[in-house]
Structure 1
Amino acid sequence: MQESSATFSLPDLKEKLLKPARDIRSILRWGYPKFATIRFVADHSQLGVEERHILTRVIMPPDKIVSRVRKKIACDSIEDRDLLLDGYNVLLSVDSLLKNEPMWFCDDGYIRDTRYYFSKAHQAEDIEEALDSVLEFLSEASPKSVTFLLDAQISRSGELAGFIRRKLKENGISGKARTSKTTDFDLKTEGGNPENNLVVATSDGIVIDSVLQALDIPACLMEKMGIEPVRLY
């Protein structure tokens, strides 16, 4: 029977995943598909569902690593830039950080949490502290404008958008918040248009693949707080 990673301490979990992670990376260099490779190695190593999810989040094929790293911009380089935030992606990741959840340094250079089981609808009710942390960062970073984009399908997103607009005004940040039924499409389309010259704040790999420049706000906050991510090296 496979053990859940919940039975392991974080150091033990990291130690358990180090060899499978190395094996997966070695196989991926030969051009094999990511998900089949992770499944093959995870089966051989008798890993549980949560452990497989962590490896899926952290490990990337070489071509994705190169292209995504090139798009990542520095935390102090958004002054006078227009910023488009993948609202729930950023806020829930920061929420995980503030709740001391493991934050993983992924092969493509971005920070991701692995609360894969969370319900966005439930988590979204408890992210005011995360929002305050993001707004504090934005106040110091001085972007030209900020737009929070929220999934309309998630309950009370409209209320959250209104709340964010009030908080932006309170903090003297030029910006807005809106909902969309096609959030990922909007992020990729607007962030991938050279004429817009937008920076997109997200750690969603599919979105990053389509935009021109990406900002990793959780990583910026961790750097400021002196928190090191978990690395599978």
Structure 2
Amino acid sequence: MLLEKCSSLDNRVLEAARDYRYLLDRGYPRKPSLDLVVSRYLLSRAERSLLLRCVHDSAYSLKILRSSISNNEIRGIPLIIDLLNVCTTIIAFLEGECLYLCDDGFVRDLGGSRYWRGKKGRVAEALRLITDHLTLFKPRKIYLVIDRKAPMSLSILAHAEDMMKKTLSADVSGVVDNKADRRIIDLERSVVNEGGAVATSDAVILERVSRVYDLAGKIVINREQFRVNRSIYDLFHHNP
């Protein structure tokens, strides 16, 4: 998608987002609610994906905003990184794709894993950006968690471990699991008393952990803030 198409959302999409949030806040199921607003506002596939990824019920959104930590707050703590999730958003950024600041304060792309499949060069670039960022903010312990079933997962993890162990002073551990999301949640519980946090934009994980960190979003915004569309976030968090 061309960058000029990412810079704004028309009122039709914003009205759809508002209606979708209204339905979610009243307890209506996510899929029927989304199908309803997609049909009513004649949303495209990309616009549907935007609402699915970026609009949540108010209670969830507030919970994530309150549990999010800043760059400086990762200093000296254990950080659990959902490696493919973080890489995907950064690769979308490198590929010039649209990125959005969602209602929970996390930056997300719309394309998912298609951005990194077979793109070893982009994966290496993303890992370098992650490593450079962590060099600045210095977590004490890093867990790199990856799903065993994902394409290229073992080679990506090996590359990430090698790069970070050579560059960072932190203790770096790679973790491969058939159910990476569950493993991340379990790991977070084991380090919660040490102030540990999870770096992911996966809403299923975010909802189940205590402290969260938008690693990909921080990297993207620090480099090119204008690349992130804030329309959805501002719709629900504007100051009167």
Give the TM bin, normalised by the shorter chain. 0.7 to 0.9
Superimposed CA distance per residue, residues 171-203 of structure 1 (whole angstroms, 9 cap, x where no aligned partner): 133212232112111001111343464211000
Work out which of the residue numbers 203, 209, 212 in structure 2 matches 1:211.
Answer: 209
Structure 2: 5+ residue stretches without partners: 236-240
Work out which of the residue numbers 187, 192, 206 in structure 1 matches 2:184.
Answer: 187
CA 16–216 in structure 1, closer or farther in 2 if over 3 Å, else same: same
CA 146–117 in structure 1, closer or farther in 2 if over 3 Å, else same: closer
Q: Is the 8 A contact 2:6 2:99 kept in 1?
A: no
What secondary structure does 2:145 align onto?
A: strand
Q: Is the 8 A contact 2:94 2:122 kept in 1?
A: no
User: What is the CA RMSD across the aligned residues, in angstroms?
Assistant: 2.3
Superimposed CA distance per residue, residues 123-151 of structure 1 (whole angstroms, 9 cap, x where no aligned partner): 56731001000000000001101121111
Q: Is the 8 A contact 2:90 2:220 kept in 1?
A: no
With structure 2 as the length reference, what TM-score do the two structures score?
A: 0.85
**Residue 32 of structure 2: aligned partner:** 36
Which range moved further: 106-115 or 171-180? 171-180
Q: Is the 8 A contact 1:152 1:158 kept in 2?
A: yes
**Residue 87 of structure 1: aligned partner:** 83
**Residue 238 of structure 2: aligned partner:** none
- The offset of 1:48, in angstroms, is 2.4
Q: Is the 8 A contact 1:84 1:198 kept in 2?
A: yes
Structure of greater relative contact order (alpha carbons < 8 Å, 6+ residues apart)? 2
- The offset of 1:92, in angstroms, is 1.1
**Residue 47 of structure 2: aligned partner:** 51
Q: Is the 8 A contact 2:123 2:156 kept in 1?
A: no
**Residue 144 of structure 1: aligned partner:** 140
Q: Is the 8 A contact 1:168 1:176 kept in 2?
A: no
Q: Is the 8 A contact 2:16 2:37 kept in 1?
A: yes
1:155 equivalent to 2:156? Answer no
**Residue 167 of structure 1: aligned partner:** 163
**Residue 25 of structure 1: aligned partner:** 21
Q: Is the 8 A contact 1:121 1:154 kept in 2?
A: no
What secondary structure does 1:32 align onto?
A: coil
**Residue 129 of structure 2: aligned partner:** 133
Q: Is the 8 A contact 1:92 1:124 kept in 2?
A: no
Letter in 1 for 2:83: G
* Alignment partners' CA distance in 2, 1:11 and 1:169: 38
Letter in 1 for 2:59: D
* Alignment partners' CA distance in 1, 2:220 and 2:115: 24
Greater helix proportion: 2
CA 12–225 in structure 1, closer or farther in 2 if over 3 Å, else same: closer
Q: Is the 8 A contact 1:34 1:61 kept in 2?
A: no
Q: Is the 8 A contact 1:53 1:116 kept in 2?
A: no
- The offset of 1:120, in angstroms, is 5.6
Work out which of the residue numbers 186, 197, 205 in structure 2 matches 1:199.
Answer: 197
Q: Is the 8 A contact 2:116 2:123 kept in 1?
A: no
- The offset of 1:19, in angstroms, is 2.0
What secondary structure does 2:52 align onto?
A: helix
What secondary structure does 1:178 align onto?
A: strand
